[in-house]
Structure 1
Amino acid sequence: MKKTLLAGLAIMMLAPLAVQAATCESVKADITQKIVANGLPESGFKLDIVPNDQADQAGGQVVGHCGNDTQKIIYTKTAGADDATAASPKTGTSQDSQ
């Protein structure tokens, strides 16, 4: 009886942690769908889930929060297939040929 009670108590204590992780992933998926619906391909951006105290160092824009407001979702634009020339530096100029 005591083991069953302890097991039930342990499950009830750990359940909120599992729900928070699933909630953050579902919020991230919803944000991804909205960005893609606005015309940006999934290869053109990255979403990261970071703790609140690391949101400033993440180097992107906060677009959401989750985990009972303990984590932020950070949006970072990446170079897509169409932006390949903009992302890579030019290898030479007209002055180099003279």
Structure 2
Amino acid sequence: MKKTLLIGLTLLTLSPLAAMASCDSVKADITKKIVANGLPESGFKLDIVANDQADKASGQVVGHCDNDTQKIVYSKTSDGSDDTTSSPKTGTSQDATAQ
């Protein structure tokens, strides 16, 4: 009985350490989810920053790690697949005057 109680107490004590995810594993999981939604890996980047630097980072906080001491910030890159910044879309007023 005492042995079972001791094992249970040990597992209960160590469980918070097991729940703490490393930043690399959380970043890899988030990357998989974003790629599964159709965005290529070259179309975004994920940065790991300290909590106090997260508001200064350009992007959106999409996760946290290291017992909530680090944040993972998502930002979209302009690699040519996102046409909103590189060239005007067809059907604009510029196209209407050319007809």
Measure the CA separation in 1 of the matches of 2:31 and 2:82: 20
State the partner residue of 2:56: 57
Provide Cα deviations, 1:56-95, integer angstroms capped at 9, x if missing partner.
Answer: 0001100000000000000001113323683379xxxx9x
State the partner residue of 2:29: 30
State the partner residue of 2:42: 43
TM, length-normalised to structure 1: 0.63
Query: Per the alignment, do residues 54 and 38 of structure 1 end up closer, same or farther by CA in structure 2, a change over 3 Å counting?
Result: same
Matches within 5 A, 1:1-98: 23-83=22-82, 86-87=85-86
Question: Which runs of 5 or more residues in structure 1 are unaligned?
Answer: 1-15
Question: Which runs of 5 or more residues in structure 2 are unaligned?
Answer: 1-16, 89-93, 95-99
Provide Cα deviations, 1:27-64, integer angstroms capped at 9, x if missing partner.
Answer: 00000000000000000000000000000000110000
**Structure with the largest fraction of helix:** 1
Query: Per the alignment, do residues 88 and 54 of structure 1 end up closer, same or farther by CA in structure 2, a change over 3 Å counting?
Result: farther
The total of aligned residue pairs comes to 71
